[in-house]
Amino acid sequence: MRYFIEFSYNGKGYHGWQNQPNAVSVQEVLENAISKLLQSQIAVVGAGRTDAGVHAKQMIAHFDYDHKIDTDKLTYRLNAFLPKDIAISEIFEVHEDVHARFGAVSRLYHYHISLNKNVFAFDMSYYVKQQLDVAKMNSAAEIMFNYENFKCFSRSNTDVKTYNCKLMKATWSEHDGMLVFTIQADRFLRNMVRAIVGTLLEIGAGKMEVENMHQIIKSKNRAFAGASVPAHGLFLSKIEYPKDIRN
């Protein structure tokens, strides 16, 4: 039987989602906890990878188990067992052919920028001191809808088969001294959101023109785009699946 886990985490203390040698990952902590409680070696497959320091308001993962699980009880026990920076929202059974990563139809990210020095937000947002032209940043973001290949925003030496992504949303909003970038697509490349935000910030600060976005994307060259912004302002906020996945 296959089960989905919906959970959130503060990424500050982790080297990203995915297991790796000599570093603590969210996947490792979650796998160890579930394996101990179910008294069986459990492998957990995430909907995607988040880099070191990136947070998740909603992450989805799946695992397989031969027996029927009291999902409410396991949710309670996991929350009691896991550290305070990982929280389980729900565990539910899905059809056995549903995959947490390949079954997702979209991912939604938010990037938070603090426009003022905020002692309560510095761990969860990127403090930007210079004045930004948000209208220009939104105009540049709209240009991205004309393209599908976003290799220019991808980390180098990645092993993906395609750099194409179907963009669904990309917009900036400002409220209460915070600037938030919302971006949604069917899939994302490694480092893509942080590179896009860094490029848009350079346009907003007047270091690039809005129309430069065309040349950057057409170049398919990471060196033409802006520097990646820090990880701690990035949140994986929502992952969507078809409505009929539950068993």
CATH number of the domain residue 185 falls in: 3.30.70.660
**pLDDT above 80 (res 157):** no
For residue 190, the model assigns a pLDDT of 92
The DSSP call for residue 21 is: T
36 in any annotated domain:
yes
Asked if residue 113 and residue 93 are part of one domain, the reply reads no
**pLDDT above 90 (res 207):** yes
Average pLDDT, integer, range 5-13: 97
Structure confidence by residue, pLDDT tens digits, 129-148: 999 999 999 999 999 999 99
CA–CA dist 175, 78 (Å, integer): 36
Average pLDDT, integer, range 108-135: 95
Asked if residue 170 and residue 153 are part of one domain, the reply reads yes
Helix, strand, coil percentages (3-state) for the chain, rounded to 5, are 30, 30, 45
**Residue range(s) defining the domain that contains residue 58:** 2-102
Asked if residue 91 and residue 118 are part of one domain, the reply reads no
Asked if residue 234 and residue 129 are part of one domain, the reply reads yes
Structure confidence by residue, pLDDT tens digits, 69-110: 999 999 999 999 999 999 999 999 999 999 999 999 999 999
243 in any annotated domain:
no
Contact 183, 234 (CB under 8 A): no
Q: Catalogue the active-site residues.
A: 51
Asked if residue 97 and residue 17 are part of one domain, the reply reads yes
Asked if residue 43 and residue 6 are part of one domain, the reply reads yes
146 in any annotated domain:
yes
Residues contacting 95, CB < 8 A, separation 6+: 2, 245, 246, 247
Average pLDDT, integer, range 13-42: 95
Q: Which of 58, 75, 102 is the last residue of a domain?
A: 102
For residue 158, the model assigns a pLDDT of 76
244 in any annotated domain:
no
**pLDDT above 80 (res 237):** yes
CA–CA dist 43, 29 (Å, integer): 11
CA–CA dist 73, 29 (Å, integer): 19
Structural tokens at position 203: 């346009």
211 in any annotated domain:
yes
- What size, in residues, is the chain? 247
Q: What is the CATH number of the domain that holds 43?
A: 3.30.70.580
Asked if residue 96 and residue 39 are part of one domain, the reply reads yes
Q: Which of 73, 102, 131 is the last residue of a domain?
A: 102
Asked if residue 113 and residue 97 are part of one domain, the reply reads no
Task: Tell which wins on pLDDT, 158 or 76.
Answer: 76
The domain tally of the chain equals: 2
Asked if residue 229 and residue 139 are part of one domain, the reply reads yes
Q: Which of 69, 102, 135 is the last residue of a domain?
A: 102
CA–CA dist 229, 120 (Å, integer): 19
